[in-house]
């Protein structure tokens, strides 16, 4: 991902949340030798086969820790992840699969195969740098493939094999969570059900979300859904570390990938060599506060966009940024009742328009397409706005969707307890509308529907808690002041919990490491290569 959006998640948007699944953990962008303690997870405590110290095989799990990867062509995996074969350097990228148990407590329950991609170090090799782009549901294979040329020019690529993987249930890993057909996803995007908060509308939304949970159980099985979350993904990450031949883990996680990193550091503190967490999820934040803060972050960046837009003559939001939210409402709210033409004979819905806007908040490079898309929308042409929504939802030009959104829902539903109290659900809806008024459809009633996680067949395996990584070495957290998906304070909080160094980046985007900012990149590279911590209080612009 750019840093990691594509790969970031079905957002808890007002018009999207009920039809997309749970509220997000964008990290987004949404996964030990021992499981987190029962106090942290609400589970029965450490799993069977708990690893001991060191980097060797785990009793009872030797076949997984000791396996060898057969590296070869990436064609199969890149096709599954919908990666243009011309978009990556085939001479540098190689792929393989790593087998892990579905249930580490009971390996006899079945296995899942993780898709793994790497580019080899171009100089004296220090080990592997494992990377996760976020989500939940983001493809690490896609991340590394898309960066084969760019990452190869980075200093870290001289010292480390750059390795990405599709977590269990994601992308080219097998099985991947896919509940809806492509046709069903297209139909869902047309729906205005989420904009009906009448008592009858609430019942219909909850029936829809219950049906989604039942459909996912039917397609994937309850056992797999119980083990698709971060608590199991961090155990997969430890297997990957060992299979790649590293005594300790060197890791770079973006967005939801910071959550994976934090939980790994908590459960395997002695196995961390170096860890950079950029665009932080705060593991201690409760689900409502997380969604509200995230939406407030999108509002902040929307206002930044509005100021930039106002300086240009073709801005459909006008030249007064203070009126931008009202002008935006004038453009998009009519779509609830009257969609306009989009791409290829499709119609642009309200949900698609807001999703396309959200997509553009992740990087300033997308502000120009958004500005042009809104100007086109004012003329009745929704094609560009729909294309932005397609990018967010991972729909290609042939109408195929990646499994990202279904995986996002499945992982989120077991990573945090659902909000099921109707009063709390309503409070969440009300607070989100206040935090992100540009996304308010104007149809709030003080009622809201429970999301799909409220009906999920698998119980949560984690709960909000402050991570405790006593014994881990110094780690690094990078946080952006105007990050739309993972607010700056999340990074401050995570750095305190991990006793990590904090790099602050002043900007309006989601994540920044190894994206070309010399101040950030030099500090991150020095830390990853030489374990040199960043200067205390480092701020980059």
Taken in order 63, 69, 75, 78, the sign of the CA dihedral is positive
29 flagged as catalytic:
no
CB atoms within 10 A of CB 354: 26
For 204, how many CA atoms within 13 A lie in the half-sphere containing its CB?
11
Quick check: 479 and 490 in contact, CB under 8 A?
yes
Select which of 255, 291, 501, 504 is catalytic. 255
Residue pointed to by tokens 């990228």: 93
Q: Please give the structure tokens belonging to residue 470.
A: 């006593």
Q: Name the β-bridge partners of 386.
A: none
Q: Please, is 166 exposed, middle or buried when counting C-beta atoms within 10 Å of its C-beta (0-12, 13-18, 19+)?
A: buried
- φ, ψ dihedrals at 97, nearest 5°: -125, 145
- The angle at the Cα of 432, spanning 430 to 437, to the nearest 5 degrees, equals 100
Select which of 18, 510, 513, 521 is catalytic. 510
Give every CB contact of residue 481 below 8 A, 6+ residues apart in sequence: 488, 504, 505, 506, 507
Give the N- to C-terminal CA distance of the chain in Å, as an integer: 21
CB atoms within 10 A of CB 408: 32
Q: Name the β-bridge partners of 501.
A: 476
483 flagged as catalytic:
yes
- The angle at the Cα of 282, spanning 281 to 286, to the nearest 5 degrees, equals 115
255 flagged as catalytic:
yes
Select which of 483, 504, 513, 521 is catalytic. 483
Distance of CA 35 to the CA centre of its chain: 22
Residue pointed to by tokens 């998640």: 9
**Residue positions annotated with a catalytic role:** 255, 483, 510
């Amino acid at each position: 991902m750019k840093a990691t959006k594509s790969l970031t998640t079905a957002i808890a948007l007002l018009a999207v949340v009920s039809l997309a699944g749970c509220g997000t953990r964008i990290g987004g962008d949404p996964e030990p030798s021992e499981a987190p303690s029962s106090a942290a997870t609400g589970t029965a405590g450490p799993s069977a086969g708990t690893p001991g110290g060191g980097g060797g095989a785990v009793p009872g799990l030797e076949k997984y820790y000791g396996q060898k990867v057969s590296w070869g062509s990436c064609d199969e995996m890149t096709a599954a992840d919908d990666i243009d074969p011309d978009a990556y350097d085939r001479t540098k990228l190689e792929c393989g699969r790593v087998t892990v148990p579905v249930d580490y407590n009971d390996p006899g329950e079945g296995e899942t195969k993780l898709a793994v991609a790497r580019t080899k170090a171009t100089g004296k090799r220090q080990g592997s740098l494992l990377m996760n782009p976020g989500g939940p549901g983001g493809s690490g294979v896609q991340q590394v493939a898309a960066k084969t040329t760019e990452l190869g020019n980075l200093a870290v690529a001289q010292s480390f094999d750059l390795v990405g993987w599709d977590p269990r249930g994601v992308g080219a890993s097998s099985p991947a969570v896919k509940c809806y057909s492509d046709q069903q996803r297209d139909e869902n995007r047309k729906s205005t059900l989420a904009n009906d908060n009448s008592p009858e509308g609430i019942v219909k939304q909850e029936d829809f979300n219950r049906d989604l949970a039942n459909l996912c159980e039917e397609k994937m099985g309850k056992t797999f859904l119980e083990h698709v979350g971060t608590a199991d993904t961090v155990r997969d990450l430890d297997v990957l570390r060992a299979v790649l031949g590293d005594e300790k883990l060197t890791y770079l996680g973006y967005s939801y990938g910071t959550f994976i990193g934090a939980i790994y550091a908590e459960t395997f503190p002695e196995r961390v060599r170096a860890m950079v967490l950029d665009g932080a999820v705060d593991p201690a934040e409760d689900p409502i506060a997380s969604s509200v803060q995230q939406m407030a972050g999108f509002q902040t960046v929307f206002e930044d966009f509005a100021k930039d837009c106002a300086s240009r003559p073709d801005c459909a939001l006008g030249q007064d940024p203070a009126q931008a939210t009202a002008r935006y409402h004038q453009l998009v709210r009519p779509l609830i009742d009257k969609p306009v033409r989009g791409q290829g004979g499709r119609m642009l819905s309200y949900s698609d328009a807001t999703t396309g806007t959200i997509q553009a908040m992740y990087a300033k490079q997308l502000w120009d397409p958004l500005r042009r898309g809104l100007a086109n929308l004012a003329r009745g042409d929704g094609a560009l706005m729909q294309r932005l929504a397609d990018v967010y939802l991972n729909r290609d030009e042939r109408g195929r969707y990646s499994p990202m959104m279904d995986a996002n829902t499945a992982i989120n539903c077991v990573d945090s307890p659902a909000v099921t109290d109707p009063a709390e659900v309503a409070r969440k809806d009300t607070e989100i509308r206040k935090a992100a008024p540009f996304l308010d459809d104007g149809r709030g009633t003080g009622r809201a529907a429970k999301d799909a996680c409220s009906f999920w067949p698998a119980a949560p395996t984690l709960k909000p808690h402050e991570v405790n990584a006593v014994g881990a070495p110094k780690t690094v957290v990078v946080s952006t002041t105007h990050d739309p998906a993972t607010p700056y304070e999340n990074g401050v909080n995570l750095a305190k919990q991990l006793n990590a160094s904090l790099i602050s980046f002043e900007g309006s985007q989601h994540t920044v490491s190894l994206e070309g900012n010399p101040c950030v990149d030099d500090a991150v590279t020095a830390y990853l290569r030489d374990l040199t911590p960043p200067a205390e209080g480092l701020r980059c612009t």
